[in-house]
Amino acid sequence: MAQFRVCPDSGFYFDKSAESLMKANAVAGAVCLLIAGILALGVMLTRWQYVHLLPADMFYQVLTGHGINALIFWVIFFEMAILYFASSTLLRTRLAAPRWAWAGFALMIIGMVMNNIAVLQGNSSVMMTSYAPMQADPFFYLGLILFAVGALIGCFVFLGTLVIARADRTYEGSIPLVTFGALTACIIAIFTIASGAIILVPTWLWSIGYIGHIDAAMYRVIWWAMGHSSQQINVAAHVSVWYLIIGVLFNARPMSEKVSRSAFLLYILFLQLASAHHILVDPGISSEWKVFNTSYAMYLAVLASMIHGLTIPGAMEVSQRAKGLTKGMFEWLRKAPWGNPVFSGFFFSLIIFGFIGGITGVVMGTEQINIIIHNTIYVPAHFHATVAVGTTLTFMALTYLLIPVLFRRALFLPWMAKWQPYVFSAGMTMMILFMLGAGTLGVSRRHWDMDFTGAMLSFEYPGTAYTMMGIAAIGGILGVLGGAMYLIVTVGSLLFGKKLDQSAGLFQSFGVPLASSAYNVNQPERLPMAPKLAVEEHGSAGFEAPGTFVLAMALLVCFVVYYFINWDYLASVWPLS
């Protein structure tokens, strides 16, 4: 029975059920992004003290919903689509247990809706972290638990699909690098969900009265074993997508499979216990434990990201140079397709993730430096650089690729798609930089009123802090505009985009994909191994990607300078021991 179709443009094979699951998950993710984006406006227009839009209760409610929809629901729905793509499509195999995959998807939807309703009802404004003993509605926790169980089923469907592909010998040799990266994301996800169950199930039982007490310090340690490593799923997933995008756009391949794969392995081996980063100024945890568990004595997970930071643009540079773009250091980059949102989205996310997200993350994760940063608005600035630009913009760029390939539609308003990564990156970068600045001045995160109206005592932040928060909000609004452009293009393409071949239409296509005549492949050809690179045959004589090396050194210089500036700043505060 024929169940595959081949995309005439990309050559990707789509299994019928995998294809529908990818579409459903991507669309569900986009809906959550829409919710998160609307709520983001409320957050920014309130933190911009001059506007100060929402009342306190609504502000905390909106902030809770924004965090959960953006950081959990949007990214994980989209990652499910990526897992199915990286297994079924890339390995040219049928999907394992599609009914289980649909059951998982249904659980995720139920969990997402349940949690959002709990927040909407107003008695669960506990922030994404829901630190016990502050208590939310039982449905708040239950929604998260159901969502996580659904995602766990998706992970096992992914693993099952890898097993089927291997048994059916649908590919030669080892799995491709992109699939390997997705596998690391899946393994991290399983660990993450296990940690989530360990903390959220007892917390849920506590909220309905079966457990009397949840220790506040223990909650923070275990919650962050989920909270931190869930962001590591994002990193492994979006780095895999970066490799996919340079492969599709530039026919590029990693300079060395060994180096890139080892870097992915380091993510698994050296990030899992990283809740340490979040409890650096907590009582009851020794300095030795903190120092060791944030670095494992050598920061190998940071090393892994620094490696990908070289190998991904490096692979692109090698490929571009082979096409004759060899002039000077940067012709390969200057003549890249800057008007293609798949490229610009990918490249901006790489740069902002590395230069801003990566550097600030390591700095604030340093035990002593955390004293001057913990819980200031510096922290959300950091994770907006990693998740809102790193992961989210990468997924946006991938969407522009998937609209023609997976949905078989032409882009709606291509000019808007072209500018979208520019508007989104510019707005978010502006917001992030000024939030970093305000955080350095001590402005706290998750705070309704920096004027402290009505407090018995009084305090005034410096005027600069107000200015910075205002500029940050304007940048953030620009970022939301960029997000809206993404959704207009995406939804518009699905509804009004020109159909690229026989299609049964959007709504039908969730359950019953394209017209059955499109599925005319019984068994795709076996996926061949990549051709050998000259480098692999002879080893490398010199620097194949000098431009990338210059960029990498620039990153290192910024990193070193900024790191020691923060030590210097720390040295100026009151002595503590």
Partner 1 sequence: MSSFLPPSERIWWNTPVGKQEIIWVGIALVWCLIMFLMMPYWHIYGKQNLSNEAYQTTPAHFQVKVDEMVAKHRVGDESGIPIVKPPAGSDVYMLGRLWQWYPILELEKGQSYRLHLSSMDWNHGFSLQPVNINLQIVPGYEMVLTVTPDTAGEFTVVCNEYCGIGHHLMLGKIYVKEN
Binding to partner 1, residues 444-503 (CB under 8 A)? 444-450, 452-459, 461-462
Cβ distance to partner 1 smaller for residue 522 or 577: 577
Q: How far is the CB of 492 from partner 1 (least distance, A)?
A: 28
Strand pairing report for 13-15 and 4-6: antiparallel
Q: Which of 209, 212, 463, 528 binds partner 1 (CB under 8 A)?
A: 528
User: Phi and psi (nearest 5°) for 376?
Assistant: -85, 175
Tell me how far apart the alpha carbons of residues 132 and 126 are, in angstroms, rounded to a whole number: 9
- In the DSSP assignment, the letter for residue 531 is P
Q: Which of 99, 167, 298, 568 binds partner 1 (CB under 8 A)?
A: 298
Footprint of partner 1 on 269-288 (CB under 8 A)? 279, 281-287
Let me know: does 304 contact 264? Beta carbons within 8 Å. Answer: yes
- Please report whether residue 256 would count as binding partner 1 according to CB under 8 A: yes
Cβ distance to partner 1 smaller for residue 229 or 440: 440
Footprint of partner 1 on 74-103 (CB under 8 A)? 90
Q: Segment near partner 1 (CB under 8 A), from 372-380, 411-419, 477-485, 497-505?
A: 372-380
Footprint of partner 1 on 546-565 (CB under 8 A)? 549, 552, 556, 559-560, 563
- In the DSSP assignment, the letter for residue 6 is E
- Please report whether residue 297 would count as binding partner 1 according to CB under 8 A: yes
Q: How far is the CB of 96 from partner 1 (least distance, A)?
A: 20
Burial 533-543 (b: 16+ CB within 10 A, else e): beeeeeeeeee
**What are 205's two structure tokens?**
């039982």
Give the per-residue SS3 of 414-481. Answer: HHHHHHHHHHHHHHHHHHHHHHHHHHHCCCECCCCCCCCCCCCCCCCCCHHHHHHHHHHHHHHHHHHH
Q: Which of 15, 19, 137, 544 binds partner 1 (CB under 8 A)?
A: 544
Distance of CA 155 to the CA centre of its chain: 17
Cβ distance to partner 1 smaller for residue 42 or 247: 247
299: three-class secondary structure by DSSP:
coil
Cβ distance to partner 1 smaller for residue 173 or 209: 173
Strand partners, 242: none
Footprint of partner 1 on 216-255 (CB under 8 A)? 216-217, 220, 243-244, 246-248, 251-255
Cβ distance to partner 1 smaller for residue 2 or 56: 56
Q: Segment near partner 1 (CB under 8 A), from 129-137, 402-410, 411-419, 426-434?
A: 129-137
Q: Which of 314, 354, 380, 547 binds partner 1 (CB under 8 A)?
A: 314
217: CB partners within 8 A, 6+ apart: 282, 283, 284, 285
Q: How far is the CB of 540 from partner 1 (least distance, A)?
A: 4
Tell me how far apart the alpha carbons of residues 535 and 31 are, in angstroms, rounded to a whole number: 45
Q: Which of 48, 60, 147, 332 binds partner 1 (CB under 8 A)?
A: 60
Count residues contacting partner 1 (CB under 8 A)? 119
- Please report whether residue 258 would count as binding partner 1 according to CB under 8 A: yes
- Please report whether residue 202 would count as binding partner 1 according to CB under 8 A: no
Q: Which of 120, 535, 554, 561 binds partner 1 (CB under 8 A)?
A: 535
Cβ distance to partner 1 smaller for residue 55 or 511: 55
Q: Which of 362, 388, 393, 489 binds partner 1 (CB under 8 A)?
A: 362
Footprint of partner 1 on 393-452 (CB under 8 A)? 440-442, 444-450, 452
Give the sign of the dihedral formed by CA 13, CA 15, CA 20, CA 26. negative
Q: Which of 46, 231, 349, 376 binds partner 1 (CB under 8 A)?
A: 376
**Position 436: which residue type?**
L
* Longest Cα–Cα distance in the chain: 75
- Please report whether residue 321 would count as binding partner 1 according to CB under 8 A: no
**Position 506: which residue type?**
L
Distance of CA 58 to the CA centre of its chain: 27
Let me know: does 154 contact 178? Beta carbons within 8 Å. Answer: no
Q: Which of 34, 76, 178, 352 binds partner 1 (CB under 8 A)?
A: 178
- Ordered alpha helix ranges (H), 272-334: 287-295, 300-322, 331-334
